[in-house]
């Protein structure tokens, strides 16, 4: 590592950090972009202390630009924020930059620092130290359980299609719940007893049914915790029409524990992919559909719209008015997603205030 002597008075430091699983690489720049040095540190508490101490030895620190604040850089970003430093989330360098400058960890760290210094990177990372982070972990676990449930029930039905006739006929015409209970109650067989197609089918069905029932119990247990946490974190959010515990968990995960980092409801709509994107050129003035953003949050907005169109009278009236003006169902649903995103944002930043009604004349 090379570094300049202790800086003169008035020098301000910007540090860029390229994060990895085992080692982070940091590069420090002064306020005019002069490279002051680099440091490789382990991803431990001691390593985080070392990078902070090294940066402060160079001079007063304006900001730390950290890549991967939602993954490898989460621990470093949390510690720096707790100690009062300004932490900026930096995107990975794009391919054109890497073609021009090459690829190495110190180069990526320097690019991160320059992005902060130039004002290109301005996003505040999620704090990751409250209810939203707990909700994120629980929802991730529940989603995997639900996905595995779907796989298990599909495999049961696939086996029944080609199972021996006696077994297939015994389980035909049953409801899903009854079929699962009956499969789970099939007699246990030792490996040596699996010597015929019927025995093999019974063995597989019993295991898959018990797996499904166990996963269903796990998902139900996690949903109870999610309901409690979402009600505590943002009671106004779960009071919105069409937003249940799962949707509220998705929105809280997208916004993080510090939703005020999103400076406006338009920023939250863009985060959810519910804001139209300008696509104008010359005499053409148009917008296109936003296919970016957090797709899970976008899907939660869509589900909220579907629920409201079925049960919420003001939303039904809004659809009728817009359809009378010549808009298609898809266009109206996009408008509704954008409106619900506004309500969700206000429920996140003002956890105890919510409204379900559309504005007059909308």
Residue 1 has pLDDT above 50, yes or no: no
Are 225 and 246 in the same domain? no
Q: Is residue 61 part of a domain?
A: yes
Residue 9 has pLDDT above 70, yes or no: no
Give the dihedral sign, CA 311/235/362/327.
negative
- pLDDT digit string, tens, across residues 103-152: 888 898 999 999 999 888 888 888 878 899 999 999 999 999 999 999 99
Are 146 and 187 in the same domain? yes
Strand ranges, E, within 85-159: 87-90
Overall average pLDDT of the 328-356 stretch? 85
Q: Is residue 4 part of a domain?
A: no
Residue 359 has pLDDT above 80, yes or no: no
Dist CA 243 CA 246 (whole Å): 8
Are 105 and 170 in the same domain? no
**pLDDT recorded at residue 192:** 62
Q: Is residue 125 part of a domain?
A: no
Residue 211 has pLDDT above 60, yes or no: yes
Residue 70 has pLDDT above 90, yes or no: no
Q: Which of 88, 117, 146 is the last residue of a domain?
A: 117
Our count of domains for the chain comes to 3
**pLDDT recorded at residue 358:** 61
Q: Which of 94, 117, 140 is the last residue of a domain?
A: 117
Are 241 and 344 in the same domain? yes
- pLDDT digit string, tens, across residues 222-281: 999 999 999 998 898 988 989 988 999 999 999 988 888 888 899 999 999 998 888 788
Q: Is residue 20 part of a domain?
A: yes
Answer for the pair 289, 334: CB distance below 8 angstroms, yes or no: yes
CATH number at residue 76: 3.30.420.40
Are 113 and 176 in the same domain? no
Overall average pLDDT of the 41-69 stretch? 92
Are 19 and 102 in the same domain? yes
Are 146 and 218 in the same domain? yes
**pLDDT recorded at residue 352:** 66
Residue 6 has pLDDT above 50, yes or no: no
**pLDDT recorded at residue 19:** 93
Answer for the pair 216, 309: CB distance below 8 angstroms, yes or no: no
Are 26 and 110 in the same domain? yes
Residue 86 belongs to domain spanning: 13-117
- pLDDT digit string, tens, across residues 272-309: 999 888 878 887 777 778 888 899 999 999 999 999 99
Q: What is the mean pLDDT of the chain?
A: 87
**pLDDT recorded at residue 200:** 87
Q: Is residue 337 part of a domain?
A: yes
Q: Identify the residue with better confidence: 213 or 289.
A: 213
Overall average pLDDT of the 165-193 stretch? 84
Overall average pLDDT of the 200-210 stretch? 91
Are 45 and 32 in the same domain? yes
Question: 3-state DSSP helix/strand/coil percent for the chain, to nearest 5?
Answer: 55, 10, 30
Q: What is the pTM for the complete model shown?
A: 0.79
Q: Quick one: which of 136, 116, 85, 84 has its CA closest to 297?
A: 136
Overall average pLDDT of the 45-73 stretch? 92
Answer for the pair 105, 93: CB distance below 8 angstroms, yes or no: no
Q: Is residue 123 part of a domain?
A: no
**pLDDT recorded at residue 276:** 83
Q: Which of 215, 233, 251 is the last residue of a domain?
A: 233
Are 219 and 323 in the same domain? no
Are 327 and 266 in the same domain? yes
Give the range among 84-88, 191-195, 338-342 with minimum mean pLDDT. 191-195
Q: Is residue 56 part of a domain?
A: yes
**pLDDT recorded at residue 48:** 94
**pLDDT recorded at residue 8:** 52
Beta-ladder partners of 123: 89
Q: Tell me the DSSP string of 233-267.
A: H-HHHHTSTT--HHHHHHHHHHH-S-GGGS-SHHH
Q: Is residue 359 part of a domain?
A: no
Are 169 and 110 in the same domain? no
């Amino acid at each position: 590592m090379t570094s300049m002597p202790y800086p003169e008075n008035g020098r301000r430091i910007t540090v860029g950090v390229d994060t990895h699983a085992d080692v982070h690489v940091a590069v420090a720049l002064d306020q005019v972009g002069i490279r002051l040095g680099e440091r490789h540190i382990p991803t431990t508490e001691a390593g985080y202390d070392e990078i902070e101490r090294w940066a402060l030895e160079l001079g007063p620190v304006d900001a730390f630009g950290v890549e991967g604040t939602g993954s490898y850089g989460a621990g470093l970003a949390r510690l720096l924020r707790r100690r009062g430093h300004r932490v900026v989330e930096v995107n990975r360098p794009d391919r054109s930059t890497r073609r021009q400058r090459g690829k190495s960890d110190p180069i990526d760290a320097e690019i991160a620092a320059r992005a902060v210094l130039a004002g290109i990177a301005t996003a505040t990372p999620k704090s990751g130290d409250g209810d939203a982070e707990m909700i994120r972990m629980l929802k991730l676990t529940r989603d995997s359980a639900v996905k595995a449930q779907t796989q298990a029930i599909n495999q049961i039905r696939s086996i029944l299609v080609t199972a021996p006739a006696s077994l297939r006929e015994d389980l035909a015409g049953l409801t899903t719940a009854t079929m699962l209970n009956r499969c789970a109650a099939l007699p246990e067989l030792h490996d040596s007893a699996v010597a015929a197609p019927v025995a093999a089918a019974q063995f597989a069905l019993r295991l898959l049914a018990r797996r499904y029932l166990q996963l269903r119990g796990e998902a139900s247990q996690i949903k109870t915790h999610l309901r409690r946490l979402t009600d505590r974190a943002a009671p106004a959010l779960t009071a919105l029409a069409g937003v249940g515990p799962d949707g509220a968990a998705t929105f809280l995960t997208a916004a993080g524990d510090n939703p005020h980092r999103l400076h406006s409801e338009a920023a939250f709509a863009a985060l959810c992919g519910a804001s139209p994107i300008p696509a104008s050129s010359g005499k053409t003035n148009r917008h296109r559909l936003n296919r970016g953003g957090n797709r899970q949050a976008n899907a939660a907005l869509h589900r909220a719209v579907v629920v409201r169109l079925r049960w919420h009278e003001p939303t039904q009236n809004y659809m009728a008015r817009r359809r009378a003006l010549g808009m298609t169902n898809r266009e109206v649903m996009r408008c509704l997603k954008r409106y619900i995103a506004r309500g969700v944002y206000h429920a996140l930043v003002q956890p105890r205030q919510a409204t379900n009604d559309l504005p007059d004349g909308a």
